[in-house]
Structure 1
Amino acid sequence: MADGQQLGRLLLIKIGDGADPEVFNNMCGLKTRSFNMSANEIDTTIPSCTNPGGPVQKTSRPGISNRTFSGSGAFVSSTAMDTFMGYVRGASAFNAQVIVPGDGTYEGSWMVTDFSFSGDVEPNMEFSATFVAADVLEFTPEA
């Protein structure tokens, strides 16, 4: 794409099948998706000892980092979705890869913290899911 822009539909989560060697399959049906990287802020502000009535400069340091992927879309029945739903029903951690175009791949253990089915009378059934890192992730920069 022009000017290094990336297609949002290439922001993917690939779910591991638990086999050896493990195979990662794209989570099919996602229409919207987001990947969040954040860290807690640890307040390190200390008023001046020599001028306690003077201005105070807020200072901080990074705390616990958080990596979260969320997505929603059409529920598509498949072998890969059956494997994924087993992880959701069992509230168990599983291996996955989050592919962030223009950045790289975040791979490791993930868990689903929120999963919902939804549907109206005529359209296809949909789902939404929120994934949180369950262990330290390995980052591989995009080549």
Structure 2
Amino acid sequence: MTIEKGRAFLMKIGDGGDPENFSVIGGMRSTSLRLANELVDVTHKGSSGWRELLSGAGIRHMSLGGSGIFTNSDSEQVMQAKALEATLDSYRIIFESGDSFTGRFQMTTLEYAGDYNGERTYNIALESSGPITFAAAE
């Protein structure tokens, strides 16, 4: 496995078209992805004293996050509109290797900040709705 650069870990927002085109969200400096699987505990009185889990059960979800410098790019304007509308939209996370995750997400947080002697920044958080697809690099 090759070490990958963080700057090549990109979040893209879909345009809603058919076929859908994805654009990198402008100004982003950090990107994060969290894939979570809810546990279903089936431990009972007859168990060995160790927790037992039900394989394949529970709710799976993906959380995306990012932060960056506000550049007023088209993708940032779309991102702001999506946050105001609270809609489900397509996003893609792509790694330097070309592997990617694609799915529908709702933007749950859009935060802007700016220090007196600094640049305007943003932080975003997104939560998945429905299945997430993984595509390995070709």
TM-score normalised to the size of structure 1? 0.85
Describe the superposition over 1:21-55 as per-residue Cα deviations: whole angstroms up to 9, x where unpaired.
32210012111221111111110112228xxxxx5
Q: CA RMSD in A?
A: 1.9
Aligned to 1:30: 28
How many equivalent pairs are there? 136
Gaps of at least 5 residues in structure 2 are none
Describe the superposition over 1:100-139 as per-residue Cα deviations: whole angstroms up to 9, x where unpaired.
3458211121111111000011211000001111221221
Q: Which of 59, 64, 76 does residue 69 from structure 1 map onto?
A: 64
Aligned to 1:15: 13
CA change 1:7–1:93 in 2 (3 A) is: same
Segments of 4+ moved more than 4 angstroms: none
Q: Are the counterparts in 2 of residues 94 and 110 from structure 1 also a CA contact under 8 Å?
A: yes
Aligned to 2:95: 100
| Identity over aligned pairs, percent | 22
Matched ranges for 1:84-99 at <5 A = 84-99=79-94
Q: What SS does the corresponding residue of 1:4 show, helix, strand or coil?
A: coil
Equivalent position amino acid for 1:6 in 2: E
Q: Are the counterparts in 2 of residues 116 and 129 from structure 1 also a CA contact under 8 Å?
A: yes
More strand by share: 1
Equivalent position amino acid for 1:135 in 2: G
Q: Give the distance between the partners of 1:8 and 1:93, measured in 2 at CA.
A: 26
Q: Which of 46, 50, 58 does residue 44 from structure 2 map onto?
A: 46
Q: Give the distance between the partners of 2:106 and 2:95, measured in 1 at CA.
A: 18
Larger Rg: 1
Gaps of at least 5 residues in structure 1 are 50-54
